Structure 1
Amino acid sequence: MTRHLDFKGRTAVITGAGSGIGAALAAALAARGANLALADINEARLQEVADALKSNEIKVTTHKVDVADKDQIAAFAEAVEHEHGAVHGLFNNAGVALGGTFDRVKDDDFEWLMNINFYGVVRMTRAFMPLLKQADMAQLVNVSSIFGIVAPSGQTAYSSAKFAVRGFSNALMHELEGTSIGVTTVHPGGVNTRIAEDAKKPEDMTEAELAAVKKMAKEGLVMPPPEAAEIILRGVERRLPRVLVGKDAHTLAILERIFPIKYWNFIKKRASRPQAD
């Protein structure tokens, strides 16, 4: 398999392109001369992203898509085939967050998250596989999370989905070995996106708990999305099987590898230390 993928003049599909990492990926790929098919459930945000790319001499199409909806995904794939043809990069980036321990998360909310964060990836991959196969060289890019490597308390649903994305991607990578399609699994650490702000929260969450979550997000989600997008794209261009985004992601991945059972004790101890002013 050729090790370098040049996106100039090629087509990339991005879900969750209306904000955060998805919007930053769109800008970075546009700067590389890629044609883009951008999808998001929020049509207004998506159009803002597309409008900002109009100065580039590339083709950009926008598509309102709920990745939890099979029919919308199928229609999206048909539209991309009609408007772009072969797909060289599929970035399964759309995702949502759901806070709360297992006993506080309702089954309906758990299924809601899995339908977007995991089954959305699976269904997008299945729908676009024929278009990836049409390309001379293609890369499937599935965005997991550092919580697809470590599993913190209070993230039962989110970690379940992100571990599932990791397992699906790794198995599919082995199945596609020897073909023109590569697979990259992305594990972002703390990137400053809207995911925490837009997260669904338990109905019984107190004001104090909500304030603590917001404080943790402010302190932990610090990397600018454009920086994260560049790290991801450099890995995808090299067709790497795994991309860790941020020092925190690298540190936690190493910690989990060395202490696969006890890593959580180290994380708790660090979190309990007094913070310097």
Structure 2
Amino acid sequence: MTRLALTGSTTVITGAASGMGAEIARLLAPRGVHLALLDRDAEALTVLAAALPGTVTTHVVDLRDDDAVFAAAHDIELVHPRINALVTCAGSSMLGTLDQLTMEEMRWLTDVNLWGTVSITKALLPALRAAPDAHIAHLASVYALAAPAGRIPYAMGKFAVRGFSEALRHELEGSRITVGAVYPAGVRTGIILHGRYAAAIDPEVAARAASAQARMYHTEPADAAAQIIRSIERRRARTMVGREARIIDLLVRLSPSSYWRVMRRPLRAATDTTTPIS
């Protein structure tokens, strides 16, 4: 398989205003890669774009709105005639047990993490088909490999992103488009600290759990972004980001039905959304 050349073509990044999406943009722009950046945060997008060299366009869109997503894809195609990479970084987190979460809260997260990924991929697929070669990179999560307690809607959505990526890769077999799923773990993006939690949880309890999770993160966003870019250029089907991801991947392969026995203890504080603050 030929290496994907990003320079001179356009890479579309969702969730580009912060975290790994922003870091990917910062690494690609100086290399002569044209960028189309999508996010809900217009102000952060503007600040980021102003700091980047080259051709950069910003598109403020809520990925839960299918019509807005397809309209944004149309706008991107008008400005960027050569799109050969899509990176779906947009996502959020949600703390809470099934008892604590409402159906509305779980649907909100699934709309963001899963259906937003599906929508932008479907909208840009014709443009990617028109490229000589193209790659789609979907950010899943280590929780698309192993599902912890206290993260049902997040794990559910990310497992679905994994399934979507794999099925789409098989559908596009023999075409010029390759598809890969990226499994980050322990990246210091702040997603858990700025994510949502069930309204039924005491805010102090939620903050305690989020802080416990954040303390387990060791990979810098710029390092994760560099790994993701390499995986796009090499058109990899699976990319583990962070030492923890590789360990969990191996653990699940070795103990597919009992891996939680090993994960339960280190994740105890991060998944505890019920014990009151004393």
Q: State how many pairs are aligned.
A: 269
Paired residue for 1:33?
32
> 1:174 pairs with 167, 170, 174, which one?
170
CA-CA distance at 1:86 after TM superposition: 2.9
Q: Normalising to structure 1: TM-score of the pair?
A: 0.94
SS in 1 for 2:183: strand
Q: In the alignment, what sits opposite 1:52? A: 51
- 1:111 equivalent to 2:101? Answer no
Match of 1:83 among 56, 66, 79: 79
RMSD: 1.4
- The alpha carbon displacement at 1:96 in A equals 1.0
Supply the distance in 2 between the matched residues of 1:6 and 1:148 (Cα, whole angstroms). Answer: 29
Determine the C-alpha separation between the residues in 1 that align with 2:104 and 2:240.
31
Task: Please tell me whether the aligned partners of residues 95 and 206 of structure 2 are also in contact (alpha carbons under 8 angstroms).
Answer: no
Post-superposition offset of 1:217: 2.9
Q: Provide the C-alpha distance between the structure 1 equivalents of 2:55 and 2:139, rounded to a whole number of angstroms.
A: 24
Distance in structure 2 (CA, Å) of the matches to 1:270 and 1:81: 46
Identity of aligned residues (%): 38
CA distance in 1, matches of 2:66, 2:142: 27
| Rounded Cα–Cα distance in structure 2 between residues aligned with 1:196 and 1:31 | 29
2:181 corresponds, among 179, 185, 189, to 185
| Counterpart in the other structure of 1:15 | 14
Contact kept in structure 1, 2:27 and 2:226, CA below 8 Å: yes
Shift of 1:271: 4.7
State the Cα deviation string for residues 27-66 of structure 1 (Å, max 9, x = none): 111132100000100001111111110xx2x210001011
Residues 29/227 of structure 1: CA separation in 2 closer, same or farther (3 Å cut): same
Q: Distance in 1 between matches of 2:267 and 2:11?
A: 39
Unaligned runs of 5+ in 2: 270-278
Equivalent position of 2:273 in the other structure: none
Say if 2:105 and 2:198, in contact at 8 Å, map to a contact too: no
Following superposition, which runs of at least 4 residues in structure 1 exceed 4 angstroms of deviation?
Answer: 270-273
Distance in 2 separating the partners of 1:176 and 1:244? 22
Deviations 1:92-113 (A, max 9, x none): 1100111101111111111111
Q: Give the TM-score normalised by structure 2.
A: 0.93
Aligned with 1:264 (options 260, 267, 278): 260
